[in-house]
Amino acid sequence: MTQVRPRRSVLYMPGANERALEKAKSLPADALILDLEDAVAPDAKEAARDRVCAALGDYGSREVAIRVNGLDTEWHDADLRAAAAAGPAAVVVPKVNSATEVHNIERALELGGAPASTKIWAMLETPIAILRAAEIAAASERLTVLVLGTNDLAKELHASFVPGRAPLLAALSAAVLAARATGKLVLDGVYNDVRDAAGFETECRQARDFGFDGKTLIHPAQVEPCNRIFAPSADEIDHARRVITAFDEARAAGRGVVTVDGRMVENLHVEQAQAVLAMAEAVGA
């Protein structure tokens, strides 16, 4: 079975917040983003950079990424140099707007001596980034994940946050299309109302149904529901097993198509079922 690395729940934590950095050690998020950008005040940027780079080894086998400040900021170059030397699983770069910017980030990581294991996660959070999503995604093999920045995107679009996210749906779809067309992963943006558990679950389900691999999070209370919703359910696992069994039996009988629960099953559905089982195995579902 194919090994998959789950990225259902990807939790941001402010790089200057000692308590959050400590708390995250006990949280079951699939991945963590230690943030140097929006969650860190300008006069705390340098201390946060040092703290975050020193904390990388504290989170066991979990994937830990560093979000650097934007390309047009005074902190970006030093953040990238420090991250390259520290070697996180990924450098998350906000507001990536072109393939050229991806090439520049790639070159800076190489010059800084970043190991090959340090990937680029590019944030799509402007209208131009959404329009160029596929070329950004394809710009580098080091770029493995697209991350939606829905707060910045809504701001740039002059869009409102409404239940169902109608104003953002075209952009969400464009990001998923770009990721799938280029073989990259794609993570949904954050849900700001940390006390609205029902609204958060609804948004997780929407993201999962759109094809997102996971969601970025801002609060510990969002981790468990996100993990649950992005993991295959017991019914999905049972259905996947039955699809594989039914198709194997059909093949043995010389047929290439069969029905399960009255629905047509072909080889492509078997591949989907295998992916469900691989994810279930990876997350212990």
Ligand X SMILES: CC(C)(COP(=O)(O)OP(=O)(O)OC[C@H]1O[C@@H](n2cnc3c(N)ncnc32)[C@H](O)[C@@H]1OP(=O)(O)O)[C@@H](O)C(=O)NCCC(=O)NCCSC(=O)C[C@H](O)C(=O)O
20 near ligand X, rule: CB under 6 A: yes
> Which is closer to ligand X, CB of 94 or CB of 214?
94
Residue corresponding to tokens 């580098």: 140
In angstroms, give the least distance from the CB of 190 to ligand X.
5
SS (H, E, C) 82-145: HHHHHCCCEEEECCCCCHHHHHHHHHHHHHCCCCCCCEEEEEECCHHHHHCHHHHHCCCCCEEE
Q: Which of 62, 39, 65 is nearest to 52 (CA)?
A: 65
Among 8-16, 56-64, 163-171, 180-188, the segment contacting ligand X (CB under 6 A): 8-16
In angstroms, give the least distance from the CB of 281 to ligand X.
28
β-strand pairing of 263-265 with 258-260: antiparallel
167 near ligand X, rule: CB under 6 A: no
What does 220 interact with, of Mg ion, ligand X, none (CB < 5 to 8 A by kind)?
Answer: ligand X
* Angle (deg, nearest 10), helices 223-230 and 197-210: 30
151 near ligand X, rule: CB under 6 A: yes
Q: Which positions from 110 through 169 interact with Mg ion, judged by CB under 5 A?
A: 125, 149, 152
Note the residues at the interface with Mg ion (CB under 5 A). 125, 149, 152
Note the residues at the interface with ligand X (CB under 6 A). 11-14, 19-20, 23-24, 35, 38-39, 94, 125, 149-152, 189-190, 194, 218-220
